[in-house]
Amino acid sequence: MFSRAQKTPIAEWWWSIDRELLGALILLMICGVVLSFAASPPVAERLGLEPWHFVIRQAGFCVPALVVLVGASFLSPRQARVVALVTLIGSLAMLWATLKFGTEVKGARRWISIMGQTVQPSEFVKPAFAVLGAWLFSESMVRKNVPGKTLATLVGAAIVGGLLLQPDIGQTALILATWGALLFLAGISWWLIFGLAGAGVGLIFGAYLLFPHVSKRIDAFMNPEGGGNTYQIDRALQSLLEGVVRTGAG
């Protein structure tokens, strides 16, 4: 498509990016739109919307997402860190603001309205923390006088605190997993790895004891006959069974 001899920004971008990864991400976006054709019309009709409401919405979100994806790939490492820092500061402020000004849905405050549009700040916090956290950990490895690990841990704690107060256990688990992965890549002892694994198990038990919606989901999964809401579990098992049957029939 482009010659390596070309020195245009587009040509240099094309030969510097991971094209296989880019193709895989675009394929995932296409698969998401295709799957929404099968899954979303019944939900839309049940809500009194047009059958293709969620399909159109999914495809519409893919366009700006692709623009952001490609635009971010043009950034230099320094520019990416600056963007991540600004995004993290703004989204972290919004994350804590949801506790007071956010819209409450089923007992949780995870969304905040900005200029008539609802935004979930945690979705912006995650990529920003991944980039900034990776930089802080790497700086602590290169420069021993830089407390990168401590700073990344403090930032992660501020994020986790806000998420637990919303509460949002799923996003909390993702942030903790990101922090743990970065810490592992930065180099830690096996004793600390086992200690963190034990702490993770303890956090799961703590979430089970402290958050009723978590305990209900776990109880429904462990005991489907108990009368809990097992819709998602039933649909997942049904899809697996139908896949096995069709594969065997083929």
pLDDT digit string (tens) for 76-102? Answer: 889 999 999 999 999 999 999 998 888
The pair of three-digit structure tokens given for residue 190, joined into one six-digit string: 């096996």
Q: Show the low-confidence residues of the chain (pLDDT under 50).
A: none
CB atoms within 10 A of CB 94: 20
Instruction: Give the per-residue pLDDT at 208.
Output: 75
Q: Which helix (H) or strand (E) holds 111?
A: strand 108-114
What's CA 215's distance to the chain center, in Å?
Answer: 22
The SS3 of residue 230 is: coil
Q: Cβ of 243: how many Cβ atoms within 10 Å? A: 10
The reported pTM is 0.75
Task: Output the CA–CA distances (angstroms, integers) from residue 183 to 1, 116, 131, 201, in the order listed.
Answer: 39, 39, 13, 18
Q: Determine the pLDDT at residue 207.
A: 76
Q: Mind listing the pLDDT tens digit for each residue in 108-142?
A: 888 888 877 788 899 999 999 999 999 999 988 88
Would you say 95 and 122 are in contact if contact means Cβ atoms under 8 Å apart? yes
Report pLDDT for 237: 72
- Rg, Å, the chain Cα set: 22
- pLDDT the model gives residue 213: 67
Give pLDDT, residue 83: 93
| Whole-number Å distance between alpha carbons of 89 and 140 | 21
